[in-house]
Amino acid sequence: MGIVCTVQDVQQLEREWASDHDGSTWGLMVAASQSFVARFQADFAGRRVLVVAGNGNNGGDGFYIAKLLLEQDVKVSVATPLGLPPDNIDAFRACQEYQAAGGQMDEHLESAEADLLVDALFGVGLNRPLSGKALVTVTRINRLNLPVYAVDIPSGLHAQTGVCQPVAVHACATHTFIAYKPGQLTAAGPALCGELTLDSLGIQSTSSWRYARAFEPCLPARQGATHKAEHGNLHVVGGLKNMAGAAIITATSALNAGAGRVFLHCHELGHAAALARAPELMTRDVQRLLEEPPEGTYVIGPGMGMSSLAMQLWQVLLPKAKGVMDADALRLLAAQPVPVSGWVLTPHESEAAALLGVTSADIKADRLDSAQELASKYQTTVVLKGAGTIVATTEDIRFCYAGAPEMSTPGMGDCLAGIIGSLIAQGLLPEQAAVAGVNWHAHLGAKLARRQRIVLASDIIPLLKQIPDLAD
Ligand SMILES: NC(=O)C1=CN([C@@H]2O[C@H](COP(=O)(O)OP(=O)(O)OC[C@H]3O[C@@H](n4cnc5c(N)ncnc54)[C@H](O)[C@@H]3O)[C@@H](O)[C@H]2O)[C@@H](O)CC1
Ligand SMILES: Nc1ncnc2c1ncn2[C@@H]1O[C@H](COP(=O)(O)OP(=O)(O)O)[C@@H](O)[C@H]1O
Ligand SMILES: [K+]
């Protein structure tokens, strides 16, 4: 698990470091550059490296990295499309040291022959949308079609939101310093950063936000003289008229994720289809839930629709049960917003927009802020799905395994809701179940995406039964 900090917190940590080191951050620039070169030593050896340096301290890292590469006899040149750094920042000294070591510079990046590119144009200091030369440079970097290694963050990516400003460098790898930044872990961040690594440079942050990819230690195992009753009852409520598929996906996912018994409360038209798919399921007439909901964990919403029956079910279950609210249950909640402590909410961006009474564009513009607002408004654990899923509670934030774009297929969210519900039924706390469930689901999706164009929920469901293979 890695620590995640806001940009402001990282900048504050840098200031504190400086106050312990004669007021200077020069030592940090040296350490960051050394760490970057060590991280990519094998990739750079014997190759021609083009460093694109901006005129801030991210560019400073670039100059110092170029100096270190020169000292290792790597062929390196620096492009300075935005001009040279001013003489009052560390980058100026880095530039001077590079020149003193015999380094060459050119304003134009096309003029250098290179095998790979180091992106040191902008780091966390990007504070406005790109325009003019900066915009042209980022576009040119991408057009060169070289492998790009980003220093701290791909240039043009907003370090807090993960939104391109309006374009950003597409890196194959990014080495970041001090702490992960939210924008690397959500929205466009995961795809643009490529393989992301962190060096804290020995600086400790008190942030409780984490980038958590592990899930395997949380998966409950069957051990010793156990009985299915000890692994929880999971009730899936949904699949009303003509929408059985969603609830069947949720129920079969929950079953394969290990819940002791899975009951599917859906329209009777779905019963035969569900049993044909998984005879281990127990199908129930959904109307009977209105009388007295049985004990257990609930996943309500997949394929539930917004009919008056759906509304009645939601109203009966809301105060009496706990578990996961997904899909149409979230739309019903959005229509009558109340705190739902104890329920995990699993909205995608459009459902999140309805829950907050804003537009999907508002959610896209700041996924982290939206996730926090949802947790606070509904006083519960929220899984904001999509590229770079965020799990927010009223206290904390977890950034999850980013999954893969090949997972953007119908039914994928129903599968996730079943997994999370199943883990809660097996005894995990809601937040633990949400994080482990998202990471497990995304790990399997990403694994399949390495050999499939499209990943369906039905591809993931059988893999849930297997012992996770973390090597691939
Ligand atoms: N300050 C420190 O203590 C350290 C900084 N480090 C590096 O320094 C980076 C941060 O450096 P800075 O704070 O100087 O910021 P950057 O180098 O990221 O960029 C700041 C410069 O870009 C300009 N700028 C911002 N947005 C722009 C836009 N849209 N178009 C054109 N110009 C724009 C700013 O006016 C400023 O001149 C980090 O990402 C990291 O790479 C590391 O060396 C570690 C230590
Ligand atoms: N581009 C993407 N990258 C990573 N994961 C994605 C991406 N698009 C979708 N997903 C994941 O796939 C699932 C889709 O859920 P959802 O939109 O609710 O689908 P549905 O409503 O059809 O079930 C979520 O877990 C989401 O995080
Ligand atoms: K950069």
- Pocket test of ligand 1: the residue of 122, 131, 158, 193 to mutate, having most ligand atoms within 8 Å of its CB, is 122
Q: Is the peptide bond before 166 cis (omega within 30 degrees of 0)?
A: yes
Task: Compute the distance from residue 77 Cα to the ligand 1 centre, in Å.
Answer: 20
pLDDT for the residue 434: 98
Strands in 195-199's sheet, in edge-to-edge order, are: 105-106, 75-79, 48-53, 116-120, 148-151, 173-177, 195-199
Is 386 known as a binding-site position?
Answer: yes
Residues, beta carbon < 5 Å, ion ligand 3 = 119, 150-151, 155
Model confidence band, residue 472 (pLDDT cutoffs 50, 70, 90): low
As a whole number of angstroms, the distance between CA 163 and CA 183 comes to: 7
Residue 398 sits at φ, ψ, to 5 deg, of -125, 130
On whether the CB atoms of residues 218 and 424 are closer than 8 A, the answer is no
pLDDT tops 80 at residue 370: yes
- Pocket test of ligand 2: the residue of 185, 248, 408, 439 to mutate, having most ligand atoms within 8 Å of its CB, is 408
Task: Compute the distance from residue 192 Cα to the ligand 3 centre, in Å.
Answer: 11
What whole-number percentage of the chain has pLDDT above 90? 94
pLDDT for the residue 242: 83
Pocket of ligand 2 (CB under 6 A): 348, 385-387, 389, 402-405, 407-408, 410-414, 416
pLDDT tens-place string over residues 66-79: 999 999 999 999 99
Domains of the chain and CATH, by start: 2-212 (3.40.50.10260), 216-463 (3.40.1190.20)
In the chain, what is the greatest distance between 2 CA atoms, to the nearest angstrom?
A: 82
Ligand nearest to the CA of 388: 2
Reported as type and span, the H/E element at residue 135 is helix 132-144
pLDDT tens-place string over residues 2-60: 999 999 999 999 999 999 999 999 999 999 999 999 999 999 999 999 999 999 999 99
Lowest-confidence segment of 27-31, 325-329, 338-342, 467-471 by average pLDDT: 467-471
pLDDT tops 90 at residue 470: no
CA-closest candidate to residue 7, choices 169, 207, 303, 247? 207
89 or 470: whose pLDDT is higher? Answer: 89
Residue type present at position 334: A
Alpha helix positions (H), 230-320? 244-256, 271-277, 308-320
Atom 39 in ligand 1: residue holding the nearest Cα: 123
On whether the CB atoms of residues 302 and 331 are closer than 8 A, the answer is no
Residue 332 CB neighbours (<10 A): 21
Atom 4 in ligand 1: residue holding the nearest Cα: 29
23, exposed or middle or buried, with CB in 10 Å at 0-12, 13-18, 19+? exposed
